[in-house]
Amino acid sequence: MKTTCTALAATLALSLCAAAHAADDKKPTEKCFGVARAGQNECAAGPGTSCAGTAKKDFQGDAWILVAKGTCTGIETPNGHGSLTPRK
């Protein structure tokens, strides 16, 4: 019985997460450069990276993640604010 309850709880949790993610996909987003942590960037982060998860350091200027539209430049990092364009 415990295994069945655990499996049902896991299924419910995954369903809720999927539904929340689907709702987030409909919101407008923008690329935000210089705010991703190492290995957590989206695809094609510039020279030296090939795709998602390949940024070599935290807050790499040419690495980007998708954020809610209008929020990028308000994100603060140790290197300054997020940028809508790649930076060095």
Sheet strands (E) in 15-57: 29-33
Query: For the chain, how many residues are written?
Result: 88
Contact 77, 59 (CB under 8 A): yes
- What pLDDT does 56 receive? 87
pLDDT in the model for residue 11: 40
CA angle 51, 35, 70 (to 5 degrees): 105
Is the whole model's pTM more than 0.75, yes or no? Answer: no
With a cut of 70, which residues of the chain have pLDDT below it?
Answer: 1-25, 44-50
Predicted pLDDT at 55: 86
**pLDDT at 45 (0 to 100):** 57
